[in-house]
Amino acid sequence: MRRAARRRGEALPAAGLPLALTATGKNGERIRTVDATARRLGIRPGMGLADARAILPELCCRPAEPEADAAALEALAHWCRRYAPRVAVDGEDGIRLDITGCAHLFGGEARLLEDLRRRLAGLGYTAVPAIAEGALAAWAWARFGGGGILAGPSARAALEALPVAALRLSPEPRRRLERLGFRRIGELARLPRASLLLRFGEEPVRRLDALLGAGEAPFVPLPEPETFAARLLFAEPVTRRRALEAALGRLLGDLHRRLERAERGARELRLRLLRLDGAAREILLRTGRPLREPGDLLRLFRLRFERERPDPGFGCELMLLEATRTEPLAPRQASLASAETEGAFGRLVEVLSQRLGRGRVLRPEPVESHLPERAVRMVPGGGEPAAGRWLAPGPRPLRLLARPRPVGAVAAVPDGPPRLLELGGRPLRLRRAEGPERILPEWWRPEGAEAPLRDYYRVVTAEGGTLWVFREGAYGDPLPPRWKLHGSFD
């Protein structure tokens, strides 16, 4: 949540303030996750939100996002492939790695563990890594043994000293064992397996054997993420630009087939030219929308060639092309006129973006806010339309001032529409006025709690111009209302 808020530019609670994530359950809002500060002050997961606020009134709460957490955990599991090729997500907060034959590449298990802990801390995660002979033993040692390497003759005794919860049992068998006085795994291990099976069922016996190394479920790793790359090794070094473009067209054709099968489009492509003298030239192409058609991408690469003029030196012997960022792109009907028009417009936007720069070709995008200055933002012109919607109930001016301009106003009655405006010392007589459209402040924002309401009017001047003005505040407030000009419909 903290990382996502930083990416979106949202304000986070001040450092040191307790923070909790909440979720709605059968009995109302409950605490799902807490940070270290909240835990130290007595807040625990599963506690009701009302009870938590009674204990700690200054507790900051945000809604939990389990789907986003699961996606972030899976992404982190793929990141862990730098240590082992076989990785898997383990529950809601764990990652499992099969490091068989991999530890020596990092100088041993201890160095691998330390490198993993250090890198995760650099990413902002607090982790407790553990290494053991079996997956359940590593899970139990990380959560109940403090982490580290569990090996040698003392490993079994260390596992037997762990609580029964380290067996990762279902709630009901665990409660039955604890109700009968079993606190440690060693107490169960000394019982005959037949008696344990008869009294408590198959699960405790199976988990006990898995923990102590007598048998374990097979390791099912995450499938490797699909990569979209193509390479071409030249029989003779290539020096001419036309030949490089022809080779690039061939690579784009190979890449197109892979992207089409996966129904993906490229948003970022990296082309590497390896020269005969050992030097490498890299060209990065970013697109405003997902693309995979070879012709479209080749035209964009030609524009980059014109701008960057890659030097092949004594010749290029290897060309590598990789789509480093992709997005879903479903097949479309290309024979209809509307699809052809849309494709031509998209190609025009991409060409202009490559020639002028992506920050110079923009389009407006709606933001779900009632405040006019926040209801729109400018984004790169080639992207897909956002899922947001326009919330404005009435017409909005073509020209909106970045900051509303104070004006003088005279109204027939205090709460009525203006009859006369004064702008820059010049009086403007009004022929008619439409409104008001009342817009209340966004109270959920820190700056919106004390903001005054606004009453907007669409006024027509005697010269024929149409302006958009509003009265900020209401009569009876501590501060008198003020009139401001926010835009023009002309």
- The number of helices, as runs of H, and strands, as runs of E, in the chain is 14, 19
Q: What is the structure's pLDDT at 216?
A: 73
Residue 364 half-sphere exposure, CB side, CA atoms within 13 Å? 12
Q: Is the peptide bond before 418 cis (omega within 30 degrees of 0)?
A: no
- How many angstroms from the chain centroid is the CA of residue 62? 16
Structure tokens that stand for 2 in this block = 């903290």
pLDDT tens per residue, range 321-356:
999 999 888 876 655 444 555 567 777 777 777 777
Listed as ranges, residues in the chain with pLDDT below 70 are: 8-9, 11-15, 214, 332-343, 358, 382-390, 446-449
| pLDDT on residue 357 | 74
Residue 328: helix, strand or coil by DSSP? strand
- Residue type at position 63: P
- Ranges of each domain in the chain: 2-64, 69-211, 229-336, 399-488
Strand partners, 108: none
What are the structure tokens assigned to 415, written together? 């709460």
CB 358 within 8 A of CB 288: yes
How close are the terminal C-alpha atoms of the chain, in Å? 44
Helix (H, G, I), strand (E, B) or coil at 281: strand
In the structure encoding, which two tokens stand for residue 417, read together? 């529409």
Query: What is the secondary structure of 438-452 as a DSSP string?
Result: EE---TTSGGGSSPP
- DSSP symbol at 13: P
Place of tokens 């807040």: 43
Output the DSSP codes for 62-120. Answer: EE--HHHHHHHHHHHHHHGGGT-SEEEEETTTEEEEE-TTTGGGGTSHHHHHHHHHHHH
The token duo for 114 is 């330390």
Q: What CATH code would you report for 2-64?
A: 3.40.1170.60
Q: Which strands sit side by side in the sheet containing 28-34, from one edge to the other? A: 28-34, 19-25, 60-63
Please, which residues bridge with residue 434 across strands?
Answer: 458
Q: How far is the C-alpha of 132 from the C-alpha of 11, rounded, in Å?
A: 41
The tens digit of pLDDT for each residue in 184-223 reads: 988 888 888 888 888 888 888 888 888 887 677 778 888 8
What local confidence, expressed as pLDDT, does residue 188 receive? Answer: 86
CA separation for the pair 265, 286 (Å, rounded)? 12
Query: What is the reported pLDDT for 478?
Result: 82
Phi, psi of 154 (to 5 degrees): -85, 0
> CA distances (Å), 94 to each of 69, 86, 133, 323, 409, in order?
12, 14, 17, 30, 64
Burial class of residue 86, CB neighbours in 10 A (0-12, 13-18, 19+): middle
Minimal CA–CA distance to 76: which of 2, 127, 37, 40? 127
The domain covering 229-336 belongs, at the CATH homologous superfamily level, to: DNA polymerase, Y-family, little finger domain (3.30.1490.100)
Tell me, what amino acid is at 144?
F
